[in-house]
Structure 1
Amino acid sequence: MVLSDLGRRINAAVTDLTRSQNLDEKAFESMLKELCNALVSADVNIRLVQQLRKSIKAKVDFKNLPPTTNANSKKRLIQQAVFDHLVDLVDPHAEPYKPKKGRSNVIMFVGLQGAGKTTTCTKLARHYAQRGFKACLVCADTFRAGAYDQLKQNATKAKIPYYGSLTQTDPSIVAAEGVARFKKEKFEIIIVDTSGRHRQEADLFAEMEQVQSAIKPDQTIMVLDGTIGQAAESQSSAFKSTANFGAIIITKTDGGAAGGGAISAVAATHTPIIFLGTGEHMLDLERFAPKPFISKLLGYGDMSGLIEHVQAVTKDNASAKETYKHISEGIFTLRDLKSQITNVMKMGPLSKVAGMIPGMSNMMAGMDDEDGSTKMKRMIYIFDSMTEKELDSDGKMLIQQPSRMTRIAHGSGTSVREVKDLLTQAKMMAGFAKNMGGQKKNMQRAEAMMKGGNKQQQMAAMQKRMASMGGQAPGAGGRGGMPDMGKMMQMLQGMGGGAGAAGSSAGGMPDLAGMDMNALMQQMGGMMGTGRGRGR
Structure 2
Amino acid sequence: MVLQDLGRRINGALTDLTRAPTLDEKAFDGMLREIANALAEADVNIKLVANLRKTIKTTVKFSELPPSANKKRIIQKAVFDALVDIVNPHQKPFEPRKGKSNVIMFVGLQGAGKTTTCTKLARWYQARGFRTCLVCADTFRAGAFDQLKQNAIKAKIPYYGSLTQTDPVVVARDGVEKFKKEKFEIIIVDTSGRHQQENALFAEMVEIQSAVQPHQTVMVLDASIGQAAEAQSRAFKETADFGAIIITKTDGAAAGGGAISAVAATHTPIVFIGTGEHLLDLEKFNPESFVSKLLGMGDMQGLVEHVQSLKLDQKDTMKNITEGKFSVRDMRDQLQNIMKMGPLSKMAGMIPGLSGMMQGMDDADGQSKLKRMIYICDSMTVKELDSDGKCFVEQPTRMVRVARGSGTSVREVEELLTQQRMMGNMAKKMKGGLAGMQKAQQQVGGGGRGGKDQMAAMQKRLAAMGGAGGAGGGGGGMPDMGSLMKMMGGGAGGGGMPDMSKLMGMMGGGGGGAGGGGMPDMSSLMNMMGGMGGGGGGGGGGGRR
TM-score normalized with structure 1 length? 0.83
Q: 1:328·1:495 contact (CA, 8 Å) conserved in 2?
A: no
Question: Structure 2 CA distance, aligned partners of 1:191 and 1:379?
Answer: 41
Task: Rate the CA distance shift 1:45–1:179 in 2: closer, same or farther, 3 A.
Answer: same
520, 524, 528: which one pairs with 1:518?
Answer: 528
Aligned residues, how many?
482
How far has the Cα of 1:327 moved from its partner?
A: 3.0
Question: Structure 2 CA distance, aligned partners of 1:350 and 1:203?
Answer: 45
Structure 1 position 389 matched with structure 2 position 383: yes
How far has the Cα of 1:280 moved from its partner?
A: 0.8
Task: Rate the CA distance shift 1:433–1:33 in 2: closer, same or farther, 3 A.
Answer: farther
Q: 2:510·2:520 contact (CA, 8 Å) conserved in 1?
A: no
How far has the Cα of 1:311 moved from its partner?
A: 2.0
Partner of residue 12, structure 1? 12
Q: 1:305·1:356 contact (CA, 8 Å) conserved in 2?
A: yes
Structure 1 position 240 matched with structure 2 position 237: yes
Q: 1:111·1:222 contact (CA, 8 Å) conserved in 2?
A: yes
Partner of residue 246, structure 2? 249
Partner of residue 411, structure 2? 417
How far has the Cα of 1:173 moved from its partner?
A: 0.8
Partner of residue 159, structure 2? 162
**What does 1:124-203 correspond to in 2, within 5 Å?**
124-197=121-194, 200-203=197-200
Question: Structure 2 CA distance, aligned partners of 1:235 and 1:11?
Answer: 30
Question: Structure 2 CA distance, aligned partners of 1:126 and 1:209?
Answer: 27
Task: Rate the CA distance shift 1:374–1:262 in 2: closer, same or farther, 3 A.
Answer: same
Q: 2:437·2:458 contact (CA, 8 Å) conserved in 1?
A: no
The aligned amino acid for 1:216 is Q
86, 89, 93: which one pairs with 1:92?
Answer: 89
Partner of residue 34, structure 1? 34
Partner of residue 490, structure 2? none
Q: 1:325·1:497 contact (CA, 8 Å) conserved in 2?
A: no
Task: Rate the CA distance shift 1:162–1:496 in 2: closer, same or farther, 3 A.
Answer: closer
How far has the Cα of 1:289 moved from its partner?
A: 0.8
How far has the Cα of 1:198 moved from its partner?
A: 6.2
The aligned amino acid for 1:518 is M
Secondary structure of the corresponding residue to residue 137 of structure 1: strand
Deviations 1:25-72 (A, max 9, x none): 222222222222221221111111111111111122221011233xxx
**What does 1:44-83 correspond to in 2, within 5 Å?**
44-69=44-69, 73-83=70-80
Q: 1:114·1:198 contact (CA, 8 Å) conserved in 2?
A: no
Q: 1:176·1:214 contact (CA, 8 Å) conserved in 2?
A: yes
Task: Rate the CA distance shift 1:151–1:382 in 2: closer, same or farther, 3 A.
Answer: same
Question: Structure 1 CA distance, aligned partners of 2:159 and 2:458?
Answer: 61
Q: 1:323·1:511 contact (CA, 8 Å) conserved in 2?
A: no
How far has the Cα of 1:146 moved from its partner?
A: 1.0
295, 300, 304: which one pairs with 2:301?
Answer: 304
Partner of residue 430, structure 2? 436
How far has the Cα of 1:514 moved from its partner?
A: 5.9
Task: Rate the CA distance shift 1:499–1:413 in 2: closer, same or farther, 3 A.
Answer: closer
Q: 1:325·1:496 contact (CA, 8 Å) conserved in 2?
A: no
Structure 1 position 221 matched with structure 2 position 218: yes
Task: Rate the CA distance shift 1:386–1:516 in 2: closer, same or farther, 3 A.
Answer: farther
How far has the Cα of 1:89 moved from its partner?
A: 0.9
The aligned amino acid for 2:228 is A
How far has the Cα of 1:510 moved from its partner?
A: 5.4
Structure 1 position 508 matched with structure 2 position 518: yes
Task: Rate the CA distance shift 1:237–1:519 in 2: closer, same or farther, 3 A.
Answer: same
Question: Structure 1 CA distance, aligned partners of 2:143 and 2:509?
Answer: 48
How far has the Cα of 1:383 moved from its partner?
A: 1.2
Identity over aligned pairs, percent: 67
**What does 1:262-277 correspond to in 2, within 5 Å?**
262-277=259-274
Task: Rate the CA distance shift 1:172–1:514 in 2: closer, same or farther, 3 A.
Answer: farther
Question: Structure 2 CA distance, aligned partners of 1:48 and 1:326?
Answer: 54
- Please tell me the root mean square deviation across aligned C-alpha atoms, in Å: 3.0
User: Which moves more between the two structures, 339-348 or 240-249?
Assistant: 339-348
Deviations 1:263-310 (A, max 9, x none): 100001000000001111110000001011111111221122112211
Secondary structure of the corresponding residue to residue 138 of structure 1: strand
User: Which moves more between the two structures, 84-93 or 51-60?
Assistant: 51-60
Question: Structure 2 CA distance, aligned partners of 1:58 and 1:308?
Answer: 35
Task: Rate the CA distance shift 1:280–1:397 in 2: closer, same or farther, 3 A.
Answer: same
Partner of residue 456, structure 1? none
Question: Structure 2 CA distance, aligned partners of 1:444 and 1:203?
Answer: 59
The aligned amino acid for 1:371 is D
Task: Rate the CA distance shift 1:464–1:149 in 2: closer, same or farther, 3 A.
Answer: closer
Secondary structure of the corresponding residue to residue 507 of structure 1: coil
Partner of residue 353, structure 2? 359
The aligned amino acid for 1:311 is Q
Secondary structure of the corresponding residue to residue 68 of structure 2: coil
Question: Structure 1 CA distance, aligned partners of 2:382 and 2:243?
Answer: 54
Question: Structure 1 CA distance, aligned partners of 2:304 and 2:457?
Answer: 30
Structure 1 position 334 matched with structure 2 position 328: yes
Deviations 1:236-285 (A, max 9, x none): 11111111000000000111111111110000100000000111111000
Question: Structure 2 CA distance, aligned partners of 1:464 and 1:108?
Answer: 46
How far has the Cα of 1:431 moved from its partner?
A: 3.2
Question: Structure 2 CA distance, aligned partners of 1:446 and 1:116?
Answer: 44
Task: Rate the CA distance shift 1:244–1:395 in 2: closer, same or farther, 3 A.
Answer: same
Secondary structure of the corresponding residue to residue 2 of structure 2: coil
How far has the Cα of 1:123 moved from its partner?
A: 0.7
Partner of residue 369, structure 2? 375
Q: 1:358·1:518 contact (CA, 8 Å) conserved in 2?
A: no
How far has the Cα of 1:21 moved from its partner?
A: 2.5
Unpaired segments ≥5 residues, structure 2 = 442-452, 469-475, 477-507
Task: Rate the CA distance shift 1:429–1:26 in 2: closer, same or farther, 3 A.
Answer: farther
How far has the Cα of 1:145 moved from its partner?
A: 1.0
How far has the Cα of 1:77 moved from its partner?
A: 0.8
Question: Structure 2 CA distance, aligned partners of 1:468 and 1:358?
Answer: 20
Secondary structure of the corresponding residue to residue 274 of structure 1: strand
How far has the Cα of 1:499 moved from its partner?
A: 9.5
Secondary structure of the corresponding residue to residue 218 of structure 2: strand
The aligned amino acid for 1:27 is A
User: Which moves more between the two structures, 27-36 or 345-354?
Assistant: 27-36
The aligned amino acid for 2:376 is I
TM-score normalized with structure 2 length? 0.82
User: Which moves more between the two structures, 106-115 or 377-386?
Assistant: 377-386
Partner of residue 450, structure 1? none
Deviations 1:112-163 (A, max 9, x none): 1111111100111111111111111111111111111111111111111111
Question: Structure 1 CA distance, aligned partners of 2:59 and 2:424?
Answer: 48
Question: Structure 2 CA distance, aligned partners of 1:194 and 1:109?
Answer: 6
Deviations 1:47-106 (A, max 9, x none): 11111111111122221011233xxx1121111111111100100001111000111101
Task: Rate the CA distance shift 1:508–1:55 in 2: closer, same or farther, 3 A.
Answer: same
How far has the Cα of 1:6 moved from its partner?
A: 1.5
Structure 1 position 279 matched with structure 2 position 273: no
Unpaired segments ≥5 residues, structure 1 = 448-458, 473-477, 479-493, 531-536
Secondary structure of the corresponding residue to residue 470 of structure 1: helix
Question: Structure 2 CA distance, aligned partners of 1:441 and 1:512?
Answer: 12
How far has the Cα of 1:19 moved from its partner?
A: 2.5
The aligned amino acid for 1:384 is D
